[in-house]
C-alpha cells in the first residue's frame, strides 16, 4: 500500500525535529533492550512538545484510515503522534458518532499502544472520557480483565477522567483487581491513580489505604502516599496504622 501524502508529511515533519542524541537517551529510558518491556522499540528523538505541535497542525487533515499508517509504525514517535492526533480529533468534535468511531479505532488497534507513555497520554482522554460521559464502564472493565499488561494499564489510567470529575469507585475496583499484578509498571499505575484520587479527595485515599495498604506492593504504596503529610507517610511505610 502506498503511503498517503499526509502521513508522509507528518513523518517528514517529525524527522526534521529529531535529535540523534535524544534518541539514544529515550532508548534507554523506555527500556528497549533485550528482555525489557520496550524491547526493539525504535526512537528518532523528538520531544513530546514538538510532537504535540505537529499533531495540532495535522489532526483535522488526516483521516482515521490514514492514521493507521502512522499508528502501526515501528517508530515510537510516529505512534505517539498518531495517538495525539486521535486525542485532538476526539476533543475537537461534538459529533457523537465520530467520537464512537474514534473509540472503536482505539480499541481495535491497542496492539500498537504498547508502552506506558503511549497509554498514559491518550487512554483517559479518549476511553475514560467516553465512558464517563456515557456512564458506561464496560469497555474499561473488559480492558481491566485483559491478559495484556498495556490493556490493563489502559483501564486503570482510563479512570483518571472519572477522578477529575469526583468519581472514585471504578479506580478503587480496578486497583484491587490488579493489585498483585507481577509487573512493576502496573504497581506504579495503580499507585499513581490512587495518589490522584487523594489529590482530589484525601479522605477517600486514606479510607482506602487503611483497608488495603498492608497488602499493597511497596512501589504502589509509595506512589499512592507521595503527597501525604510526611509523618502520616512514614506511618504507612512502617505499618504503624
Domains identified in the chain and CATH numbers: 1-94 (1.25.10.90)
Q: How many CB atoms lie within 10 A of CB 235?
A: 15
pLDDT band at 2 (very low <50, low <70, confident <90, very high): low
Question: What cell numbers appear for 212 in the block?
Answer: 488495603
Name the helix (H) or strand (E) containing 43. none
Q: What is the mean pLDDT of residues 3-30?
A: 95
Query: Cβ distance 80 to 47 under 8 Å?
Result: no
For the stretch 200-204, contacts whose Cβ atoms lie closer than 8 Å and that sit 24 or more positions apart, written own/partner, are: 200/163, 200/164, 200/166, 200/168, 201/166, 201/168, 202/228, 204/168
Instruction: Give the lowest-confidence range in 34-38, 99-103, 147-151, 155-159.
Output: 34-38
Question: What cell numbers appear for 141 in the block?
Answer: 472493565
What pLDDT is attached to residue 47? 97
Sign of the alpha-carbon dihedral angle for 159, 208, 236, 186? negative
What size, in residues, is the chain? Answer: 241
Q: What is the mean pLDDT of residues 50-57?
A: 98
Percent of the chain with pLDDT over 90: 97
Q: What is the mean pLDDT of residues 179-188?
A: 96
Nearest to 51 by CA among 150, 130, 117: 117
Question: What cell numbers appear for 193 in the block?
Answer: 491513580
What pLDDT is attached to residue 241? 86
Q: In this model, does residue 123 exceed pLDDT 80?
A: yes
Separation between Cα atoms, residue 136 and residue 131, nearest integer Å: 5
191-201 confidence digits (pLDDT tens): 999 999 999 99
Query: Cβ distance 157 to 171 under 8 Å?
Result: no
pLDDT band at 56 (very low <50, low <70, confident <90, very high): very high
Specify the pTM: 0.94
Amino acid at each position: 500500500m502506498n503511503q498517503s501524502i499526509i502521513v508522509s508529511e507528518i513523518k517528514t515533519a517529525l524527522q526534521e525535529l529529531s535529535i540523534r542524541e535524544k534518541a539514544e537517551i529515550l532508548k534507554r529510558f523506555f527500556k528497549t533492550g533485550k528482555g525489557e518491556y520496550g524491547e526493539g522499540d525504535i526512537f528518532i528523538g523528538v520531544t513530546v512538545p514538538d510532537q504535540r505541535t505537529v499533531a495540532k497542525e495535522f489532526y483535522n487533515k488526516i483521516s482515521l484510515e490514514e492514521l493507521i499508517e502512522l499508528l502501526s509504525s515501528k517508530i515510537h514517535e510516529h505512534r505517539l503522534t498518531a495517538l495525539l492526533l486521535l486525542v485532538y480529533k476526539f476533543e475537537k468534535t461534538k459529533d457523537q458518532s465520530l467520537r464512537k468511531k474514534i473509540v472503536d479505532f482505539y480499541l481495535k488497534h491497542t496492539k500498537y499502544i504498547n508502552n506506558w507513555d503511549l497509554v498514559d497520554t491518550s487512554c483517559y482522554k479518549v476511553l475514560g472520557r467516553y465512558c464517563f460521559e456515557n456512564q458506561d464502564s464496560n469497555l474499561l472493565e473488559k480492558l481491566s480483565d485483559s491478559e495484556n499488561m498495556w490493556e490493563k494499564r489502559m483501564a486503570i489510567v482510563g479512570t483518571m477522567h472519572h477522578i477529575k470529575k469526583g468519581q472514585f469507585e471504578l479506580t478503587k475496583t480496578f486497583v484491587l483487581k490488579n493489585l498483585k499484578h507481577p509487573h512493576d509498571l502496573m504497581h506504579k499505575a495503580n499507585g499513581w491513580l490512587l495518589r490522584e484520587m487523594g489529590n482530589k479527595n484525601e479522605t477517600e485515599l486514606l479510607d482506602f489505604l487503611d483497608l488495603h495498604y498492608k497488602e499493597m506492593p511497596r512501589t504502589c504504596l509509595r506512589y499512592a502516599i507521595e503527597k501525604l503529610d510526611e509523618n502520616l507517610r512514614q506511618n504507612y511505610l512502617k505499618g504503624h496504622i
